[in-house]
Structure 1
């Protein structure tokens, strides 16, 4: 498995994801995992880790010297499967619309679904993907955190387009 970190100073997950979608073509890299990592140095920003069993594409950008330590952190966290929010991973393209927890686990690299608070949902419960499924590496397991959204339904806890915490409420 080849694992690298890239830190370009992206201000938030959205900016990092846009960069990933512009630069990396998952179809060209079988088994690709691309994750975002919140890092603190040299200032708070989002770094990226990329991992693939058969190597990564040439031409990925080098980090500026000030961001090299953050790139190393992202790569180390991915190597240890201790942290990272997966954006690109095997099967992500099939996680659209509504499906059962069992279908999600069968179609993708996600290994576990956990309700906020720690309970495991039944395999037949319906998951509204919102076409935005971002699992996290937790203790070596790619885990999707979900929340109830109605009777017998769940959805990923992370919203696809969250309202900023200080949004103008005019």
Structure 2
């Protein structure tokens, strides 16, 4: 029997994939975590085929941690050493299997309006799911990205959740600048 294909964030009974590193920088919000991941992308060997994700940690000390996975399994030792030298707490493996991807192949080209087919062909995103709609969207459906596309790992697939928008277009479910709850009170 052939073993299943595993992604860097796929937790299995065998434990976390060893080339994923989790960084706890005591962050409280996703925006700060996104910024930290973009800083890592500029300073560390997270190549275009690697991943950088955010993870919500609940419990006594709620926070957002980030995980990074270089494209190659041979780069984490250097990356770990550099992160520790920068003062971060670093552990091996991903904290969970449902990371929110910020750094991934093609993230930098998902700008403007693209068809679903284009999104899938130029990025690491495996699938687009539309809230409230059965099945997959038409490959020709237009997705207005707002330059903010944050897919989630779901059952080993990188899935972008979208929602219907004006003019029959789609938009990512997560917006770049959400209005805080009760902002008008």
TM-score (ref. length: structure 1): 0.84
Q: How many residues align?
A: 159
2:69 counterpart residue number: 51
1:112 counterpart residue number: 127
**Are the equivalent residues in 2 in contact too, given 1:26–1:88 (CA < 8 A)?**
no
Give every structure 1 segment of 4 or more consecutive aligned residues whose post-TM-superposition deviation is greater than 6 Å. none
Residue 141 in 1 paired to residue 157 in 2? yes
1:128 counterpart residue number: 144
Residue 153 in 1 paired to residue 169 in 2? yes
Residue 25 in 1 paired to residue 37 in 2? no
Choose from 42, 51, 58 the match for 1:40: 58
Choose from 99, 105, 119 the match for 1:90: 105
**Aligned equivalents of 2:70 and 2:45: distance in 1?**
11
Give, in angstroms, the shift of residue 26 of structure 1. Answer: 8.1
Q: Please, which runs of 5 or more residues in structure 2 have no aligned partner?
A: 1-7, 9-18
Choose from 62, 75, 86 the match for 2:94: 75
**Are the equivalent residues in 2 in contact too, given 1:5–1:47 (CA < 8 A)?**
yes
Q: Please, which runs of 5 or more residues in structure 1 have no aligned partner?
A: none
